[in-house]
Amino acid sequence: MEHESIVWPKSADDIIRYSALVYQKGLVSAAGGNVSARLGGDMLITGSNVPLRAVTYEGLVLCDAEGHVKRAAQGLKPSKETRFHLDVYRLRPEINYIIHAHPTYSVLWTLQKKPLPLYTESAKLKLGEVPIVPDRAPGSTELADVVAETVANASADTRAFLMEGHGILVMGKTMEECFDQAELLEDTAKIAFLQQLACLR
């Protein structure tokens, strides 16, 4: 696929830029995580096993609303989490971007299986409730189902979710909003975890 012959939408540039930021900020490692953007009735998503630190146009896959590939570099498959991205877009028509990452403190907090306390005013204002998606195998139909169920049962303004033993799922109208949610959620989990440790001393 030669990107010079394709007029790429702004959302493709957003995915490339913020995927790198997700990696640089330590919200993901190796080839984990995935980032997507709504594109009309379609979705643009990072390809399977494409490290977020190195996403290019050739690392993106265009899918239709059913997850069928419409455009991709030869041999490249969409992220294995494509289905739950599509389900979120279906459930939240106002959302245009999704980030799924694996930040350390967020994962640590989910292992305790209890609600995330919001100690800072920023977290209270910008996160509100933070539902937890139950643990299921990555890339499985079961995971996509529980993601959809958790998002459907959350309040309409909830944009940040913890994924038990897995990471985070955040969404936004803009990619900047989406990324801000990811950073704030991880900082909130870090504060909660360190506060808990301090109380044990």
What per-residue confidence (pLDDT) applies to 102?
98
Domain that holds residue 81: 3-200
What per-residue confidence (pLDDT) applies to 196?
85
Nearest residue to 158 (alpha-carbon basis) of 91, 102, 110, 112: 91
- Burial letters for 173-197: b for 16+ Cβ neighbours within 10 Å, e otherwise? eebebbbbbbebbbbbbbbbbeeee
Residue for token pair 């409730």: 129
User: Strand 42-46 relative to strand 34-39: parallel, antiparallel, unpaired?
Assistant: antiparallel
Which amino acid would we find at residue 8? W
User: Strand 132-133 relative to strand 34-39: parallel, antiparallel, unpaired?
Assistant: unpaired
The domain tally of the chain equals 1
What per-residue confidence (pLDDT) applies to 1?
43
| 153 backbone dihedrals φ, ψ, rounded to 5° | -90, -10
Say if residues 96 and 106 touch (Cβ distance below 8 Å): no
Residue 56's CATH number: 3.40.225.10
Chunk the chain into consecutive blocks of 10 residues (it has 201) and report each block's average pLDDT, rounded to whole numbers. Answer: 64 97 96 96 97 97 96 94 98 98 97 94 94 96 98 96 97 98 98 86 68
